[in-house]
Amino acid sequence: MFLNGTMLALAIKKKMGTETAQKILIYGMATSLFLLFCLCFWLYWARHGSPVAPHSTSGVGTIIEGKVLINGTTSIGRIDDDFVCATLDWWPPQKCDYKTCSWGRTSLLNLDLNNVILLNAIKAFSPLKIRLGGTLQDRVIYQSNEQQPCSPFVQSNSDLLYFSEGCLPLTRWDELNNFFKKAGAVVVFGLNELRGKTINSGSAEGAWNSSNAESLMRYTVNQGYTIQGWELGNELSGNGIGATVSADQYASDINTLHDTVQNIYGFDDKPVVMGPGGFFEENWFREFIQKTTKSLQVVTHHIYNLGPGNSKHLIDVILDPSFLDSISRKYSRLQSILKNSGTKAVAWVGEAGGAFNSGHNLVTNTFVFSFWYLDQLGMASSFDTKTFCRQTLVGGNYGLLDTNTFVPNPDYYSALLWHRLMGNNVLSTSFSGTNKIRAYAHCSKNTQGITLLLINLDGYATVQVRVSAENATGPGISPLQDPRTKFARVSRGSKIANLTREEYHLTPKDGDLHSQIMLLNEKMLTVDSSGVIPPLEPINVSHSDPITIAPFSIVFVQIPYINFSVCN
């Protein structure tokens, strides 16, 4: 560009003189510099100003100021101490989806119970609630004595769900219970609801035959094994998966299960009766709950709102605030049914893998899935859900642990932080400044104060957050300037000049949302050579500093100097 301008000036010099040529040369250089500036600006905007690709975080971005408002007048929900739950399934290695077989040896029948990482991963929760069940639970026979033949599942295109019936040997039941006792797990077990039924055109008809389940329960009691709950059936409600049971018949079967539990367990601390373990369909659930008000203690439903595991749009919907909000109606409608039915039953999410058919490798087992998972934990708890069971602890492409190595995936650490930091009482929380921040708050667990969960779905903007709280108490808490509000904020007075909060910042390795390695405060989380789960250590931040949330990141914030009476 400069060369062409110079040559042009020399040519003009011969015809028009030196002065004119110099002017043209200066004009040409100025024009070239302007064009070069425009090119550089365009390249900068293309990299930093355009929408960020969903697989990685960006570099320099904008800074947004936001405010989280927490109303501590009352709790809007209350979760169990062991709210975080994970599942173990029955799928054998032959279970494949989209020409990929992702289950390996993670079935209840062949899981390596001697794996030290598996043991330590469960122990770290102290306790972890584990739900034993899944699609094939309605094809399981329980061995009643050691002389009875007991065969595993066999793949068969002519059978329901494409597998034959499989058998749970008593020796394996012993091994599982001994392992769970050693790991300190809390166990719920899914029973076969199709036992005794005839299936006609997808409709399972007839009463539940409880004799085989009763045999397993009696053996369990005689061996001294502890089961927190017995759940009847898996995904047979509404339209069902493979088969469907009417709400009226299902309610009758639940009543039978209740009577069976009452007869077998003679002591006061009886296991809870749970069901139906299916997808929420309002009319079906309403009839079912209304007919089980005396027998059902836990209503379980499943969440797979992201669609099939082979979807090409999983990350798009995970990062879409409007899509994440859309599931709230199901939580709300279920709570409405429970409140209006006269039942004392509570709601659990009994199984949630997000994307059905075993999830999606390098999406549902990577950092990006923690956006969906933690948002679901926050949303479910805000609608008074007592327990949330993740599909799976290990197995498929959505395990908290890797299917082959048992090494924790990012969601394992997200779950563990939630379990350790988020207390029982759920606080009403709202955020202003951007719709890309998801905000949830609870009373802190086993300590004073509150814990915030903030999720930044924006890959470009860093968000600096200030906290305001209604009806809060504590040193240095002062009312906001507007006398019409009851909100309070942390003052900068000398009384708490030295107070700090604890922050846990979660990011993906190398900024890659598809990474299976999570960073906590910029340090990689990995098990050591002995299979020990790493410590989860916070950083201390002054109360006067805003909470800074990096693009595409998550932060838990434990704030000891904001207290509510509802948390005491």
Q: Are 206 and 196 in contact (CB under 8 A)?
A: yes
pTM of the model: 0.89
pLDDT at 55: 59
Largest CA distance in the chain: 114
Measured between alpha carbons, how far is 356 from 346 in angstroms, rounded to an integer? Answer: 25
Catalytic residue among 193, 214, 231, 235: 235
pLDDT in tens, 89-113: 999 999 999 999 999 999 999 999 9
Give the SS3 label for residue 349. strand
Measured between alpha carbons, how far is 42 from 256 in angstroms, rounded to an integer? Answer: 70
Q: What is the mean pLDDT of residues 526-533?
A: 96
Query: Per the structure block, which two tokens stand in for 437?
Result: 């921040």
235 is known as an active-site residue: yes
Q: What is the mean pLDDT of residues 356-374?
A: 98
pLDDT in tens, 233-271: 999 999 999 999 999 999 999 999 999 999 999 877 899
Does 517 score more than 60 pLDDT?
yes
Catalytic residue among 165, 351, 502, 503: 351
503 is known as an active-site residue: no
pLDDT in tens, 128-144: 999 999 999 999 999 99
Measured between alpha carbons, how far is 480 from 469 in angstroms, rounded to an integer? Answer: 10
At residue 475 the predicted structure's pLDDT band, cuts being 50, 70 and 90, is low
Q: Is 362 left (phi over 0), alpha (psi -120 to 50) or beta?
A: left
Give the SS3 label for residue 341. helix
pLDDT at 228: 98
Does 155 score more than 90 pLDDT?
yes
Alpha carbon distances (Å) from 328 to 243, 323, 375: 27, 10, 11
Residue 35: phi and psi, rounded to 5, are -65, -40
